[in-house]
């Protein structure tokens, strides 16, 4: 896989030197509780942990910032709608619509948890090369079909995007300029349809090629995973951190 399709997997860091299997386990152990938190304090703690993992993984700041910017673009809609649509204690009004404390709290909670999960997953899973991701999941007894979907989605989403870019360039070369009219809508509909057809054709060719090469439903890799004391210590630390977040959630809920 070219480095451009794996922007976080080609860095030398303490996190990258860990066994991919333990990184996958740590990602699950950390992000599942973080996604279920309801306390802003606990969610803030999860965000801090995610930021520390990103620093430990030495993730490229520019690429990480772009990813976070894309994620927070969607959380922005939460800040636009939730303060006005969530019942609760009114704080102020904008254009005749009441802004509630509960709505602001919910939007902030979602923002904290979203960034915490993205940072943690990027540091722990995004740092695993695709060639090792499938075998690592298989060694953890993840269902084969799920392994295939994750790995092939990662691999071929980039190729489908490149195919879309080529089709857009071909349309512009033929004088196409997008406007707000039926011609533009029909052109984009044809483009989407052709993209689906070409993606289907590529999927069939890839399947046939894999069958010709003896693919039997499992990934094979030259990578050898070895467990060390550092891997066990790291997973133990993540377990303690996750337990601490759950404890903090319980304390804040009963306070």
pLDDT given at position 5: 63
Q: Which two tokens stand for residue 182?
A: 């039926």
Task: Tell whether the model's pLDDT for residue 233 goes beyond 90.
Answer: yes
pLDDT tens digits, residue range 195-214?
899 888 888 898 888 888 88
Task: Tell whether the model's pLDDT for residue 1 goes beyond 60.
Answer: no
Q: Are 59 and 123 in contact (CB under 8 A)?
A: yes
> In the predicted model, what is the mean pLDDT of residues 150-161?
80
- What is the spatial distance between Cα 224 and Cα 239, in angstroms, rounded to a whole number? 25
- What is the spatial distance between Cα 230 and Cα 241, in angstroms, rounded to a whole number? 16
pLDDT given at position 101: 87
pTM of the model: 0.79
Task: Tell whether the model's pLDDT for residue 223 goes beyond 80.
Answer: no
Q: Residue 100's beta-bridge partner residues?
A: 90
pLDDT given at position 180: 86
pLDDT given at position 117: 95
Lowest mean pLDDT among 103-107, 134-138, 213-217: 213-217
pLDDT tens digits, residue range 45-61?
999 999 999 999 998 88
Q: What is the DSSP string of 119-166?
A: HHHHHHTTTS-HHHHHHHHHHTT--HHHHHHHHHHHHHHHHHHHHHHH
- What is the spatial distance between Cα 177 and Cα 157, in angstroms, rounded to a whole number? 26
pLDDT band at 85 (very low <50, low <70, confident <90, very high): confident
**Rounded mean pLDDT of the chain?**
86
């Amino acid at each position: 896989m070219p480095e451009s399709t794996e922007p976080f997997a080609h860095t030398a860091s303490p996190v990258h030197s860990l066994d991919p299997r333990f990184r996958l386990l740590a990602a699950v152990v950390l992000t599942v509780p973080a996604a279920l938190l309801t306390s802003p304090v606990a969610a803030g703690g999860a965000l801090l942990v995610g930021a520390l993992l990103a620093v430990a993984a030495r993730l490229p700041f520019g690429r990480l910032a772009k990813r976070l910017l894309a994620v927070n673009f969607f959380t922005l809609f939460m800040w636009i709608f939730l303060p006005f649509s969530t019942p609760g204690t009114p704080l102020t009004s904008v254009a005749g619509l009441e802004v509630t404390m509960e709505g602001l709290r919910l939007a902030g909670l979602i923002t904290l948890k979203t960034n915490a999960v993205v940072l943690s997953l990027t540091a722990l899973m995004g740092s695993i090369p695709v060639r090792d991701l499938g075998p690592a999941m298989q060694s953890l007894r993840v269902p084969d079909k799920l392994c295939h979907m994750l790995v092939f989605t990662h691999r071929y989403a980039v190729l489908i995007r490149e195919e879309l870019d080529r089709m857009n360039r071909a349309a512009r070369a033929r004088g196409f300029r997008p406007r707000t009219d039926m011609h533009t809508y029909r052109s984009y509909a044809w483009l989407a349809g052709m993209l689906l057809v070409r993606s289907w054709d590529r999927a069939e060719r890839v399947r046939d090629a894999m069958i010709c090469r003896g693919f039997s439903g499992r990934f094979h890799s030259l990578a050898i995973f070895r467990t060390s004391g550092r891997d066990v210590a790291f997973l133990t630390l993540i377990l303690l951190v996750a337990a601490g977040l759950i404890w903090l959630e319980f304390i804040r809920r009963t306070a």
